[in-house]
Amino acid sequence: MKVMKLTYKLVFILGFLFATSLSFAQNDKQKELETRRQELRREIQKINELRDANKSKAKSELSLIEDFNYKISVLSNLIKVTNQQANLLTREIASNQDKITSLRDELKQLKEDYAAMIVKSYKSKNQQSRIMFLLSSENFKQAYKRLQYIKQYSDHQKQQGEIIKAKTQELQDTNTSLLKQQEEKKKLIAENRVVQKSLESERQQHQSVMNSIQKNLSRYAAQIKEKQREADRIDREIDRIIKAAIAKSNTKAGNSASSKSFALTAEEKVLASNFISNKGKLPWPVEKGFVRLGYGTQPHPIDRSLTIKSNGVRIATEKGAKARAVFDGEVSEILKMRNVNPIIMIRHGNYLTLYRNLSEVYVKKGDKVKTKQVIGEVFTNPTNGETILSFTLSKGTTTENPASWIYKM
């Protein structure tokens, strides 16, 4: 009998611990999803603000398609995350409904047992008083045991009353939680309907622009190829300048000029180590903005047979936006090329960050800069009102995805 009681107790404890850990896991997941949902909503707000600021400007079809593609992507992600939240709430609601049913059954049984106990106690009191019960004892030991029994029985009644009270409160709390979850789910579903309408509108506008482009696709394809050739030219020049800087650092250190990595001083090694330790936590190179073109080789949104090779990210920002150093370092070069706006190159040990498409430069070669220090102003195209900063991060000549380094990019 004792073994069975211990087994039931153990099963109850394990069940309680499992339910508690599951609840905590669901809460953590819900918080994670809510954080992501709010980030996406802020991203959409940024896009809308920048669009409103440039409403009067006539954008090219290529720029419009990039804008639509990015917003469609963000809206789709928002719908996905919101659906995940709603599904998680559905599971939590079902769990709470099962819990309420179980609590009601348990509470009903407890009340029935308690009522039976009270009735039994009352009948016992009428048939034989407690004093007579004690006086009828054969000896002192038996009287003491009977006294203990009376006390334990009374304590048990009180415990049962407290358990009923606690279970009643638990039932009320679960009901309150259930109602709150149902309201949250309704709110999420209503918000998702609004986002769905916005997504449909963006897709229609995207398709309208694409229909216009399809009428003269060969001309746009030629423009795309020309833009990619110009980007490749700039990348080759940057690559040449980085290689020259690496060779110079190795010559100065007495190493082979053919080395493919920077020769680092003790101070530069510390700087590089600190840079690496901040991976994923670096600030954005502009205060406000969103990534309009990501890193890597990708099909062009207009002509899927053509590819875009992006060594960094293109960030859409507001007019007059300032470019900021993402980490402590030294201005390695101020690059000025034919038909290209100035580029600032900052060295962080053996890592480099490049800030392209500037209208103003506030630093000079050799300057030491600090994290978030303003280094220049981003160029705003007077024709279409676009303010785009191209940002590149590399280890020597090998580029890396800035999204892996910049906080929540």
pTM for this predicted structure:
0.68
Whether 199 is in a domain gets the answer yes
Give dist(CA 184, CA 163) in Å, integer.
31
What does the longest C-alpha to C-alpha distance in the chain come to?
115
Q: Could you tell me if 75 and 122 lie in one domain?
A: yes
Whether 279 is in a domain gets the answer yes
**Which of 163, 195, 214 marks a domain boundary?**
214
Whether 191 is in a domain gets the answer yes
Q: Could you tell me if 350 and 369 lie in one domain?
A: yes
**Residues in the chain with pLDDT values less than 70:** 1-24, 56-58, 114, 117-138, 140, 143-144, 146-147, 149-158, 160-161
Q: Which of 271, 274, 248, 246 is nearest to 261 (CA)?
A: 246
Q: Could you tell me if 52 and 135 lie in one domain?
A: yes
Identify the pLDDT of residue 8: 44
Residue 217: partners with Cβ closer than 8 Å, 6 or more residues away: 302, 303
Whether 46 is in a domain gets the answer yes
Identify the pLDDT of residue 106: 77
Give dist(CA 74, CA 81) in Å, integer.
11
Give dist(CA 125, CA 150) in Å, integer.
11
Whether 292 is in a domain gets the answer yes
User: Domain containing 353: what range?
Assistant: 220-404
Q: Could you tell me if 234 and 155 lie in one domain?
A: no
Q: Could you tell me if 202 and 303 lie in one domain?
A: no
Q: What is the CA radius of gyration of the chain?
A: 35
Q: What is the 3-state secondary structure (H, E, C) of the chain?
A: CHHHHHHHHHHHHHHHHHHHHHHHHHHHHHHHHHHHHHHHHHHHHHHHHHHHHCCCCCCCHHHHHHHHHHHHHHHHHHHHHHHHHHHHHHHHHHHHHHHHHHHHHHHHHHHHHHHHHHHHHHHHHHHCCHHHHHHCCCCHHHHHHHHHHHHHHHHHHHHHHHHHHHHHHHHHHHHHHHHHHHHHHHHHHHHHHHHHHHHHHHHHHHHHHHHHHHCCHHHHHHHHHHHHHHHHHHHHHHHHHHHHHHHHHHHHCCCCCCCCCCCCCHHHHHHHHHHHHCCCCECCCCCCCEEEECCEEEECCCCCCCEEEECCEEEEECCCCEEECCCCEEEEEEECCCCCCCEEEEEECCEEEEEECEEEECCCCCCEECCCCEEEEECECCCCCCEEEEEEEEECCEEECHHHCECCC
Q: Could you tell me if 176 and 292 lie in one domain?
A: no
CATH of the domain at 342: 2.70.70.10
**Which of 214, 234, 268 marks a domain boundary?**
214
Give dist(CA 224, CA 244) in Å, integer.
30
Q: Which of 312, 310, 327, 308 is nearest to 370 (CA)?
A: 327
Q: Could you tell me if 302 and 162 lie in one domain?
A: no
Identify the pLDDT of residue 111: 75
Give dist(CA 72, CA 61) in Å, integer.
16
Identify the pLDDT of residue 303: 76
Q: Could you tell me if 240 and 158 lie in one domain?
A: no
Q: Could you tell me if 133 and 259 lie in one domain?
A: no
Q: Could you tell me if 191 and 248 lie in one domain?
A: no
Give dist(CA 355, CA 345) in Å, integer.
7
> Could you tell me whether strands 313-317 and 290-293 are parallel, antiparallel, or unpaired per DSSP bridges?
antiparallel
**Which of 147, 180, 214 marks a domain boundary?**
214
Whether 304 is in a domain gets the answer yes
Beta bridge partners of 144: none
Whether 409 is in a domain gets the answer no
Q: Could you tell me if 137 and 32 lie in one domain?
A: yes
Identify the pLDDT of residue 132: 57
Domains in the chain, number: 2
Q: Could you tell me if 174 and 230 lie in one domain?
A: no
Whether 156 is in a domain gets the answer yes
